[in-house]
Amino acid sequence: MTGEFDLIRQYFHFPQGRGVVLGPGDDCALLCPQPGWQLALTSDVLVQGVHFPEEAEPAAVGHKALAVNLSDLAAQGAEPLWVTLGLTLPEADAAWLAGFADGFRTLLARQGASLVGGDTTRGPLAIAITALGQVPVGEALLRSGARAGDLICISGHIGDAGLALMALQGRVSLPPADWQALAPRLHRPEPRVALGRALRGVATACIDVSDGLLADLGHLLQASGVGAELRLGAMPFSPPVQRWLASGGDPMTLLGAGDDYELLFTLPAAARARLPELAAAGGVPLAVIGEVAAAAGIRLFTAEGEAVRVEPAGYDHFGTD
Amino acid sequence: MTGEFDLIRQYFHFPQGRGVVLGPGDDCALLCPQPGWQLALTSDVLVQGVHFPEEAEPAAVGHKALAVNLSDLAAQGAEPLWVTLGLTLPEADAAWLAGFADGFRTLLARQGASLVGGDTTRGPLAIAITALGQVPVGEALLRSGARAGDLICISGHIGDAGLALMALQGRVSLPPADWQALAPRLHRPEPRVALGRALRGVATACIDVSDGLLADLGHLLQASGVGAELRLGAMPFSPPVQRWLASGGDPMTLLGAGDDYELLFTLPAAARARLPELAAAGGVPLAVIGEVAAAAGIRLFTAEGEAVRVEPAGYDHFGTD
CB contact under 8 A, A6 and B208: no
- Which of B271, B154, B160 has its CA nearest to residue B208? B154
Candidates A210, A199, A206; CA nearest to A68 is A210
- Kindly list the domain boundaries of chain B, sorted by start residue: 4-136, 151-308
Inter-residue contact A300 to A234 (CB < 8 Å): no
Q: What angle do CA A220, A221, A222 make, to 5 degrees?
A: 95
Neighboring chain B residues of A124 at a CB cutoff of 8 Å: 123-124, 126
pLDDT of residue A319: 37
Q: Do A118 and B320 touch (CB under 8 A)?
A: yes
Identify the three-state secondary structure at position B177. Answer: helix
Question: For an interface test with B, which of A4, A5, A6, A27 has the most B Cβ atoms less than 10 Å from its Cβ?
Answer: A27
Mutate to test the interface with A, among B2, B5, B27 (most CBs of A within 10 A): B27
Which pLDDT belongs to residue B321?
Answer: 43
Q: How high is the ipTM of this complex?
A: 0.90
Distance between B168 CA and the closest CA of chain A, angstroms: 20
Residue of chain A whose Cα is closest to the Cα of B223 = A26
E strand or H helix that includes residue A132: strand A126-136
CATH 3.90.650.10 corresponds to the domain A151-308: yes
Reduced to 3 states, what is the DSSP secondary structure of residue A286?
A: strand
- Interchain proximity B318–A124, CB inside 8 Å: no
Which stretches does DSSP call E strand in A53-125? 79-89, 114-122
- Cβ atoms of B217 and B264 within 8 Å: the answer is yes
Determine the residue type at B141: L
Average pLDDT of chain B to the nearest whole number = 92
Q: What does B27-84 look like in DSSP terms, one character per residue? A: SSEEE-PPTTEEEEEEEEEEEBTTTB-TTS-HHHHHHHHHHHHHHHHHHTTPEEEEEE
How many percent of chain B have pLDDT more than 70? Answer: 94
- Chain A residues near residue B314 by CB distance under 8 angstroms: 6
Q: Are A132 and A39 in contact (CB under 8 A)?
A: yes
Mutate to test the interface with B, among A26, A84, A89, A129 (most CBs of B within 10 A): A26
Question: How many CB atoms neighbour CB A22 within 10 A?
Answer: 21
Beta carbon pairs, A and B, within 8 Å:
270
pLDDT of residue B4: 62
Half-sphere exposure of A31 (CA within 13 A, CB side): 33
- CA B249 remoteness from chain centre: 25
Residue A129 phi/psi, 5° resolution? -125, 135
Q: Are B4-136 and B151-308 equal in CATH topology?
A: no
What distance in Å separates the CA atoms of residue B264 and residue B251, rounded to the nearest whole number? 18
Give the relative orientation of helices B160-168 and B239-246 as an angle to the nearest 10 degrees.
60
Confidence (pLDDT) at A311:
60
Contact across the interface for A51 and B121, Cβ inside 8 Å: yes
Average pLDDT over residues B273-295: 98
Strands A227-231 and A297-301, by their bridges, are: parallel
pLDDT band for position B74 (50/70/90)?
very high
**Burial of B118 by CB count in 10 Å (0-12 exposed, 13-18 middle, 19+ buried)?**
buried
What beta strand segments (E) does chain B contain?
20-22, 29-31, 37-47, 79-89, 114-122, 126-136, 151-155, 205-208, 227-231, 263-267, 286-293, 297-301, 307-310
Total length of chain B: 321
**Which amino acid is it at A129?**
I
pLDDT band at B50 (very low <50, low <70, confident <90, very high): confident
Cβ contact B50–A122 (<8 Å)? yes
Name which of B281, B116, B259 is nearest B193 in CA terms: B281
pLDDT at B15: 87
Q: What is the largest distance, in Å, between two alpha-carbon atoms of chain B? A: 65
Overall average pLDDT of the B108-131 stretch? 93
Report whether pLDDT(B316) > 90: no
Residue ranges of chain A with per-residue pLDDT less than 70: 1-7, 309, 311-321
Contact (Cβ atoms closer than 8 angstroms) between residue A4 and residue A92? yes
Q: How confident is the model at residue B303 (pLDDT cuts 50, 70, 90)?
A: confident
In the predicted structure, residue B320 carries a pLDDT above the cut 60: no
Q: Which of A267-271, B151-155, B271-275, B303-307 has the lowest mean pLDDT?
A: B303-307
Categorize the per-residue pLDDT at B240 as very low, low, confident or very high, splitting at 50, 70 and 90: very high
DSSP labels, A8-71: HGGGG-PPP-TTEEE-BTBSSEEE-PPTTEEEEEEEEEEEBTTTB-TTS-HHHHHHHHHHHHHH
Fold of A4-136: 60s Ribosomal Protein L30; Chain: A; (3.30.1330)
Output A302 or B71, whichever has higher pLDDT. B71
CA max distance for chain A: 65
How many H-runs (helices) and E-runs (strands) does chain B carry? 10, 13
Q: What is the DSSP letter of B261?
A: -
Q: Is the pLDDT of residue B318 over 90?
A: no
Contact indicator for B189, B60 with CB cutoff of 8 Å: no
pLDDT-derived band at B311, boundaries 50, 70, 90: low
pLDDT of residue A9: 78
Q: Is the pLDDT of residue B2 over 80?
A: no
